[in-house]
Copies of this chain bind each other. A is one copy, B any other.
Amino acid sequence: MPVTALRGQIVYLDGNPFERDPQECLVHHPDGLVIMEAGRITAAGPYAETAPLLPAGVTPVHYPDQLIMPGMIDTHVHYPQLQMIGAYGAQLLEWLNTYTFVAEQQFADAAHAAMVAQVFLRELLRAGTTTAVVYCTVHPQSVEAFFAESARLNTRMIAGKVLMDRNAPAALLDTAQQGYDESAALIGRWHGQGRQLYCVTPRFAPTSSEAQLEAAGALLRDHPGVYLQTHLCENPAEVAWVRELFPARQSYLDVYDHAGLVGPRAVFGHAIHLHEGDFCTCHARGAALAFCPTSNLFLGSGLFRLAEAKDPRRPVRVGLGTDVGAGTSLSQLQSLNEAYKVTALAGGRLDAVRAFYLATLGGAEALYLDDRLGRVAPGYEADLIVLDPKATPLLAFRTGYCRDLTELLFTLMTMGDDRAIRATWVAGACLWDRDTGAWAMDSARRGQD
């Protein structure tokens, strides 16, 4: 593997700004250098100090005045819903029946799945997201297609086959046993293969019987280290339905807890209508919540209570999710724009440092990957993005008035989108270059063909 290097402003979080002074958590090298080899960062710091470590013959790619940051992490997204982003006019349960379950049936076709997986992963990279926790469909071939494409790109992705054995169209149902077996086979093929990680994926309590939730718990016990993702307390009608379906459980979260699903590496999407006791359980178990602002607003689901989730007496791990297709953008900058607005509507504030934490290191901590993702530091995996403060004429005008780095970051999250991603580097290689519009893997693939 060749050595590569980037020069520019390095910016990242080195601590949790919900627990420490945000400014103290922010690392900033105005003229920085990152050296990468074999997919990892081998050195990073001020240019003057780090340049002597450059091997002879390696010329850094220079992004003057641009920000080199860790690739962003999307903790909740459905790749099969890319073709139905922004489907009109329904709250959660109607929206699932009218749009989602129709689109997902197409993923029985492996060719369709492969086509969408390719588009989806490129759009993620274009938006600056290098790691995502991804729902596939009930079809094992949808998972195959996704991991195969991710393996080609060498991206670190976490994904799994949806488990549903009731309350969905017959073509989208498995059974508790079939779901277990297919998931176990996919874990064997993909978990830990290169950078791919498997995620056991019961869609949500209403579409899994108690037996299937128990089977999901068995998958977690039988395969230590795999992830768990599902939905939790997104919508009042959904919460009421779960109460009907599981009358013996104390809360929606308790349905999952009872099946052994609430622990480290479990990611619960939404968690809008959560009670204090459930926050305490998540804290105690080390489970994470995915805050999905564009989706929650689009479906009219409600306002996630970030300040409450981060209550210092029992802080809960929180990542940021786009939740495409109910979310309206794959850009985590846009997610942060709306995360700020959700917080403002609830009377609070989300500052830029905490915001970028949610999209980078905070996401890595939610996923127990903060030993390898979320920092621009030696030993970390070399997934980096380059942010351009002058990406559009209006951004160039506006950021000319920014007085400091924090204001610049805030402006980028308020006004930025995929255009602000000048380049995306994955495992030390530049996969996306905005200014040339070139995908590195196209030339590589042409070479292979």
Hey, which bits of chain A sit against chain B, CB under 8 A? 82-86, 88-89, 91, 119, 122-123, 126, 297-300, 302-303, 328-330, 337-338, 340-341, 343-347, 349, 351-352, 392-394, 397-398, 400-401, 406-407, 410-411, 414-415, 417-418
Instruction: Report how far A145 CA is from B340 CA in the complex, Å.
Output: 34
Contact A85 B300, beta carbon cutoff 8 Å: no
Nearest 3 A-B pairs (CB), nearest first? A300-B344, A86-B414, A297-B341
Question: Distance (Å) between the CB of A187 and the closest chain B CB?
Answer: 30
With A88-B352, A298-B340, A410-B88 as known contacts, state yes or no: A82 contacts B328, CB within 8 Å: no
Copies in the complex: 2
- A343 CB contacts on chain B under 8 angstroms: 300
How far is A89 from B85 in the complex, measured between Cα atoms in Å?
30
A417/B417 in contact, CB under 8 A: yes
Q: Which residue of B lies closest to A406 (CB)?
A: B88
CB neighbours (8 Å) of A352 from chain B are 88
A111 to chain B, nearest CB (A): 16
A347 to B337, CA, bound (A): 22
CB distance from A72 to the nearest CB of B (A): 16
B300 touches A397 (CB 8 A): no
Chain B residues lying within 8 Å of A407, measured Cβ to Cβ, are: 88
- A300 and B345 contacting across the interface, CB-CB below 8 Å: yes
Cβ of A158 to closest chain B Cβ, rounded Å: 22
The contact of A123 among B298, B300, B394, by CB within 8 Å, is B394
Give the residue of B393, B398, B418 whose beta carbon is less than 8 angstroms from that of A86.
Answer: B398
Q: Which chain B residues lie closer than 8 Å to A330 at the CB level?
A: 394
Determine the distance from Cα of A299 to Cα of B411 in the docked complex, in whole angstroms.
Answer: 15
Q: Decide if B344 touches A86 in the complex (CB within 8 Å).
A: no
Q: Name the residue on B nearest A342 (C-beta).
A: B297
User: Which B residues lie within 8 Å of A418 (CB)?
Assistant: 392
Q: Given A85-B414, A123-B397, 12 more contacts at CB 8 Å?
A: A82-B397, A83-B400, A83-B401, A85-B415, A88-B351, A88-B407, A89-B351, A91-B344, A119-B393, A297-B345, A300-B347, A417-B417
Decide if A344 touches B398 in the complex (CB within 8 Å).
no
Contact B86 A300 (CB under 8 A): no
Nearest opposing residue in chain B for A298, CB measure:
B341
**Which of chain B's residues have a CB closer than 8 A to the CB of A337?**
328
Contact A397 B345 (CB under 8 A): no
Cross-chain contact of A344 among B82, B299, B410 (Cβ < 8 A): B299
A100 to chain B, nearest CB (A): 13
Q: Give every chain B residue within 8 A of A86 (Cβ-Cβ).
A: 398, 410-411, 414-415
> Given A89-B351, A123-B393, A414-B328, are A82 and B300 also a contact pair (CB < 8 Å)?
no
Considering the chains assembled together, what is the distance between the CA atoms of A392 and B299 in angstroms?
Answer: 24
Which of B119, B303, B346, B415 meets A329, CB within 8 Å?
B415
Point out the residues of chain B lying under 8 angstroms from A328, CB to CB.
337, 414-415
Please judge, given known A-B contacts A297-B341, A298-B340, whether A398 and B347 are in contact too, CB under 8 Å.
no
